[in-house]
Amino acid sequence: MAYNSRPVVKVKDKTFKIFKPYEEIAAAIDAVAERIEADYADKECPLFLGVLNGSFMFAAELMQRVSLESEIQFVKLASYSGTSSTGSVSNLIGLKNDIKGRHVVIVEDIVDTGGSIDHLMKTLAEHEPASVEVATLLFKPASYTKHYNIKYPAMEIPNDFILGFGLDYDELGRNLRDIYILADE
């Protein structure tokens, strides 16, 4: 069945227009997969850690292109409102194996301010992995406030709201095969 890209999609009160067609996304993922294959060729069984929900599509496409012996797991960052003045707190759930001594590659949908990555990095570091790097479908460098190097961004984008290929607006639109950007209202 052919997939028909739509130039414009409406989700609830918002209108989005196509920004990155699937072909462009696929080419960007090809390039990241190639770099990862080269960098991990001499490392023992890297562990790819997909962050749900947003990374499911990127993780699937990335892993189909990586032929290294490797493991993939998914984790989730559950946010809840803390009672302290710091506001929201997030909790890492689903980490299964002991990752001590492992080469970990976090697989994210998007790195925006870097808050999630910062939290993940700190939590993973407590388990003493051999290394941790970040592969992300999208990276907003202008919005990023943290210092960890984002080694494998498939695409760098401006500071706009994005939908599709795993990314949601109010939990909708994750299934779109192309990437959309909020249209001028």
Phi and psi for 101 in degrees, rounded to 5? 80, 0
Binding at 115: pick from ligand IMP, Mg ion, none (beta carbon under 5-8 Å per type): ligand IMP
Binding at 113: pick from ligand IMP, Mg ion, none (beta carbon under 5-8 Å per type): ligand IMP
Query: Crossing angle of helices 22-40/56-64, nearest 10°?
Result: 60
Single residue of 28, 33, 105, 110 touching ligand IMP by CB under 6 A: 110
CA–CA distance, 178 with 79 (Å, rounded to integer)? 27
Of 96-135, binders to Mg ion (CB under 5 A) are 109
- The alpha carbon of 134 is separated from its chain's Cα centroid by a whole number of angstroms, namely 8
Q: Tell whether residue 113 is a contact of ligand IMP (CB under 6 A).
A: yes
Single residue of 46, 50, 54, 166 touching Mg ion by CB under 5 A: 54
The full 3-state SS of 22-50, as one line of letters, equals HHHHHHHHHHHHHHHHHHHCCCCCCEEEE
Return the structure tokens found at 42.
């001499």
Q: Tell whether residue 166 is a contact of Mg ion (CB under 5 A).
A: no
Task: Give the binding site for Mg ion (CB under 5 A).
Answer: 54, 109
Task: Give the binding site for ligand IMP (CB under 6 A).
Answer: 54, 109-116, 161-162, 167
Active site residues: 112
